[in-house]
Amino acid sequence: MNDILISVERLRQCLAEPGLLILDASVELPAPAFDGDYRVASGLPAWRQGHIPGARHADLLHELADPEAPFSFALPGSERLGAALGRLGVGEARRIVIYDRHDGFWAARLWWTLRSLGIPARVLDGGLKAWRGVGLAVHEGDEPAASPGSPLQASPRPGYWVDSGQVEAIVAGQAPGQLVCTLSAGLFEGSAVTRYARRGHIPGSHNRPSRSLLDDQARYLPRAVLGKRLGDELLRGEEPLVLYCGGGISAAAVALGLTLLGREKVSIYDGSLQEWASIAELPMTTGAAPA
C-alpha cells in the first residue's frame, strides 16, 4: 500500500511529467458555534488565492455531489459523476494526485470515490500546508482552461459505500458489521457542539477520531503508530467495518489509514450523521465508547 501517499518532495520532482493531474479537493466547513450550525462553502475562492501549480479545483460540494440528495456531498449517480470526472481530465490522466488545504479529509474523500471506481490516485501527505511549509511556490488565480475530457463510465464497485438501511440492519443485529464513528471524542460522547440535528453517535459504534491518525503537520503517522491508534479489534476482525462521521468526509481519512495497513472489507456510510441524526426514528446515544 505504499502507493497511496505521495510526499511533497516526490510531487515536486514530477510536476513537469506528462499526464500528471493534480486535484485540489478543498471545501470550507467552519466549526459550529451552536447545535445545528451547519455552514459549508466551496473551496474555489481559496483555490484561486493559492494552489499547487497546475492543480485543478475538484468541486466536492456541487459538481461531484448529488444535488437532489437530502445531505451534502452525497455520491452522485454514475452519469453525473462520470461527466464531472471527465471534465476534470481524470480519464486522460496517467497519474492523479489529490490534496486539500486543511487536514487531508477532503482529499481522502475524493481518493475513496476514485478508488470505488477502480481509478488509482495518490494523496499528498500533509497537503497544501506541507507544500507551503517547505517554501514551494503556489499559483494564484485561475489555471488555463482544460480541454474537455470524455465522460467516464463511473459505476462504483460494491463494498465501498453503504446507505442508512444497511446501517439499520447492523444496529438491529440483522447484518454483520462493526460501526466506527470517526468524529472527535467530544462529538461521539455528545459533550461538544454539533453541526447536526442530534448529539451523540449510532448505538454500538466504536470511536476512532480521524485526527488521531495524523501528526501536527496533517501527515499520516508511521504505520506502527497507526496500528496502535486503530487497534487490533478493528484491524484483525473479520466483520466488515462501516465508517461514518458527519458527512462521509473524515471517515474517508480513516478508510485511507485502514487501507494503508492492509485492512479490507471497509465501507463508508455516505449520509453519516447529517442524514442519520435528521431522522427522528433512527436511534442515537451519548456517552463514551466502551473501554
Strand ordering across the sheet containing 56-57: 5-6, 122-124, 95-99, 20-24, 56-57
pLDDT single digits (tens) 185-237: 999 999 999 999 999 999 999 999 999 999 999 999 999 999 999 999 999 98
Same fold, 5-133 and 161-276: yes
**DSSP, residue by residue, 34-84:** STT----EESHHHHHH-B-TTPEE--TTTTTS-TTSSSTTPPPPHHHHHHH
Domain ranges of the chain: 5-133, 161-276
Closest among 168, 60, 157, 167 to 107, alpha carbons compared: 60
Confidence of residue 8 (pLDDT cuts 50, 70, 90): very high
Say what percent of the chain tops pLDDT 90: 92
| 5-133: CATH number | 3.40.250.10
Q: Report the alpha-carbon distance of residue 287 to residue 189 in Å, rounded.
A: 4
Rg (CA), the chain: 18
Q: Report the alpha-carbon distance of residue 182 to residue 249 in Å, rounded.
A: 9
Q: Provide the whole-model pTM.
A: 0.96
Kind of pairing between the strands at 56-57 and 20-24: parallel
pLDDT single digits (tens) 264-287: 999 999 999 999 999 999 999 999
Which option is the CATH number for 161-276: 3.40.250.10, 3.40.50.2300, 3.40.50.2000, 3.40.50.300?
3.40.250.10
Give the DSSP letter of residue 212.
Answer: G
